[in-house]
Amino acid sequence: MANDQMKKYIPIQIAKSGLSLFSRNTCSAITAIIMSCIYVIMIVPTVHAQDVPPPTSSDSTTQMVVSDTGMEVASAVATIVYFPVKLAFALGGGIVGGLTYAFTGGDEEATKKVWQNSMEGTYNITPENLTGEKPVHFIGPSE
């Protein structure tokens, strides 16, 4: 297309889409503001929890609550990511366990092993999991 044709074509396409250049910029700005707010909400409690001095005897309860808040938020975010993956794995294991039962002629031991390995284990992430005090078991307990 020639330069003159492009000048005519671009405004027509913008008019057809219903979005002007101004509204696209506005939409981008609103998206950036929302993303910034989410980032601040997630980061500020964690940073604050790192800066809290060790509790004194007079205000130990208040200090512990404030310092644990960041780890609780981080564990909630980690659980939001981890839980759907673990749930899909468990559902798949349930289906495979049922097929194992059918194809082995009713062997309950084989089915039980498949179901235990896929359905048991950790479903949510706690602050203890994040600090390493308690392990995360994606696959159920081993014998």
Interval 14-25: pLDDT, tens: 555 555 555 667
Instruction: Return the half-sphere exposure (C-beta side, CA atoms, 13 A cut-off) of residue 86.
Output: 19
Task: Choose between 58 and 76: higher pLDDT.
Answer: 76
**Average pLDDT over the chain, rounded to an integer:** 74
Task: Report residue 56 CA to chain centroid gap.
Answer: 35
Q: What are the structural domain ranges in the chain? A: 3-131
Task: Choose between 56 and 101: higher pLDDT.
Answer: 101
pTM metric for this prediction: 0.52
Task: Choose between 16 and 114: higher pLDDT.
Answer: 114
Confidence band, pLDDT 50/70/90 cuts, at residue 99: very high
Confidence band, pLDDT 50/70/90 cuts, at residue 96: very high
What ranges in the chain are assigned the alpha helix state H? 3-17, 21-51, 60-103, 108-119, 127-131
Token pair recorded at residue 71: 């780890």
Confidence band, pLDDT 50/70/90 cuts, at residue 70: confident
